[in-house]
Amino acid sequence: MRLGLERAGWTTVFANDIEEEKAEMYRHHFHASNKELVVDDIHNLGANEVPDVTLATASFPCNDLSLAGARAGLEGIQSSAFWGFVRILREMRQRKPPFVLLENVTGFLSSKDGADFEAALVALNELGYSVDALIIDAVHFVPQSRQRLFVVGKLGTEPTPIIRETPDFWQSGVRPEVLAKFIFEHPMIEWDIRQLPPLPLCRQRLEDILETLPDNNAAWWSEERVQYLVNQMSARHRTVADVMAARRAWSYGTVFRRVRNERSMAELRTDGVAGCLRTPRGGSGRQILFKAGHGRFMARLLTPRECARLMGAEDFLIGASLNQALFGFGDAVCVNVVEWIATHYLNPVFEERVAIPTRRARQPVRY
């Protein structure tokens, strides 16, 4: 989030996270002080600890909102961090930032049949923010499939009248059918919808972000371990793997292990795009690079540097262990997506609505 905003001209003055491991990665790259980065549960923070800012961002835990989780919703132990964010905004009173940016998984939209997303937007409305919502897939910028839901809140703006004709009136590249339908069906929410340009087309492929590791590098798995992985594939995926191996050139794919019908299966993807990076706390969380050709199969985990590149953070300083780095990047936001939102949404709105359009005034706060 910080890298994307900074690329678009913003400055970060405050950050908060509950995970010490992520804080270590943050400090290592940004050389952040303990005053700038507060490591604590957001429910323990007071509004007096937060400086005056123009933008407040919140990437609260998705565990209780995602399809892979227990779907406890915004009342879940982790995703309830959102209400801590709302409380701080409320306690800031006249110091509330003019803009808010939320980010989460698209499961937020369907959590509890839409009731959680509605409650979150209503909470922002009650604080004085009109809201807009976007769904953007990182695949438009990097070779990673990573759909995320974003909400922009604007303080003291006039709501957009909701035209009660058809949901597709609101449909666009950043507002797919499911989101357009939600907007259409919730006219009671104070929306402020903004037209945005088309999303770009990413020309990178998976192989473009890979590190060159010799075949004898310790990262590559043993033949026995690779064969076990291949044996976990369905007949359809095994056929694809065999076709790859028969070629006289290397080709690449990624593999996730998933439980299907109470059996661990290896699912192979070969369209030049990595699957969504995840935190490696679950058994299927770590993404596997699959390499085949010249009659051979090879496999290894994606490296931290490759994960950084898939998140648009190719220059990020990595001083963490493998699992710590995979956790950090799997829990992060794609830099390029945030930069695009800042460039095409936040910056124009800032210039239109804030009296002193100086770089110094553009200061976001990250939770």
CATH number of the domain to which 62 belongs: 3.40.50.150
How would you classify residue 142: left for phi > 0, otherwise alpha for psi between -120 and 50, otherwise beta?
Answer: beta
340 with 224, same domain: the answer is: no
Residue 350 sits in which domain range? 2-203+333-366
Residue entry with tokens 């940004």: 30
Number of domains, the chain: 2
What is the model's pLDDT at position 5?
98
177 with 272, same domain: the answer is: no
CA angle, 327 as apex, 321 and 328 as ends, to 5°?
Answer: 90
6 with 147, same domain: the answer is: yes
CB neighbours of residue 43 within 10 Å: 13
Phi then psi for residue 16, to 5 deg, are -145, 140
Which letter does DSSP use for residue 344 in this model?
I
Pick from 287, 302, 317: which residue ends a domain? 302
223 with 262, same domain: the answer is: yes
DSSP H or E stretch at residue 81: helix 81-92
99 with 239, same domain: the answer is: no
Pairing relationship of beta strands 37-39 and 99-104 according to DSSP bridges: unpaired
180 with 254, same domain: the answer is: no
135 with 264, same domain: the answer is: no
| Inside any domain, residue 127 | yes
57 with 84, same domain: the answer is: yes
131 with 225, same domain: the answer is: no
Burial (0-12, 13-18, 19+ Cβ within 10 Å), 218 = exposed
Cα dihedral value 322, 324, 327, 329, nearest 10: -80
What is the model's pLDDT at position 69?
52
CA distance 248 to 360: 56
| Inside any domain, residue 355 | yes
pTM for the whole thing?
0.90
Contact 126, 169 (CB under 8 A): no
| Inside any domain, residue 298 | yes
55 with 134, same domain: the answer is: yes
The token pair at 356 is 């002193």
95 with 216, same domain: the answer is: no
| Inside any domain, residue 318 | no
288 forms bridges with which residues in the sheet? 255, 301
| Inside any domain, residue 57 | yes
CB neighbours of residue 224 within 10 Å: 8
CA distance 232 to 339: 39
| Inside any domain, residue 310 | no
List per-residue pLDDT tens for the chain, 367 residues long.
999 999 999 999 999 999 999 999 999 999 988 889 999 999 999 999 999 999 999 998 755 545 555 545 556 455 588 999 999 999 999 999 999 999 999 999 998 899 999 999 999 999 999 999 999 999 999 999 999 999 999 998 787 777 666 778 889 999 999 999 999 999 999 999 999 999 999 999 999 999 999 999 999 999 999 999 999 999 999 999 999 999 999 999 999 998 888 888 999 999 999 999 998 765 457 899 999 999 999 999 999 999 999 999 999 999 888 889 999 999 999 999 999 999 999 999 999 887 444 444 455 544 3
Picking from 226, 310, 311, the residue whose alpha carbon sits closest to that of residue 272 is: 310
347 with 287, same domain: the answer is: no
| Inside any domain, residue 31 | yes
Q: Residue 86 in 3-state DSSP? A: helix
